[in-house]
Amino acid sequence: MTAGLVAAVAAAAAFAGWGGYSWLSAAGDEAVTAGAVREEVLRVGREHVAQVTTLDYHDVEAGIDRWLAVSTGPLRDELAAAGERTRQTLRQGRTVATGAVLEAAVAELDAEGGTARMLASVEITTAREGTEPATTRNRFSAQLRRTDGGWKLSALDQVPLGGAP
């Protein structure tokens, strides 16, 4: 019985060693790393697209600040250029727009280069004071770039229905 116990312990130790080695080698596997980056890009991209498709006329400044916080590069430059005239137009529109990402997928990812492209289907509910809310569905192609502050949107383009992204 002792020989059987020794054999079982040896087998368990060998299995534990093999399992540990497999786990350590998989932790550095490029496919695992790329998958984690893809998941992060998808999660962050969904949040950011929802942010830039949402605006409440009651607090236009806070809305624009949120847009700027999730954007970089040309998109951020464009959003930052919104002058007082644009802000006033947004306030006078008396509209609350709320974007919700229904579906999204990472179409391209260059993890090493820090760029990605995501496709998103977004439902935007627009409620103008005194009227019933209206809902529209839009498709977007979102470019993302990794920055010191994480992944941010660098471009957001509406994809026409029936058009190729």
Question: Cα angle vertex 105, ends 36, 112, to 5°?
Answer: 45
Closest CA to 126 of 149, 162, 96, 156: 96
pTM of the model as a whole? 0.78
| One-letter-per-residue 3-state SS of 56-67 | EHHHHHHHHHHH
Q: Which helix (H) or strand (E) holds 82?
A: none
Structural domains in the chain, sorted by start: 44-159 (3.10.450.50)
Half-sphere CA count of 99, side-chain side, radius 13 A = 20
The tens digit of pLDDT for each residue in 13-71 reads 666 666 656 555 555 555 557 789 999 999 999 999 999 999 999 999 999 999 999 99
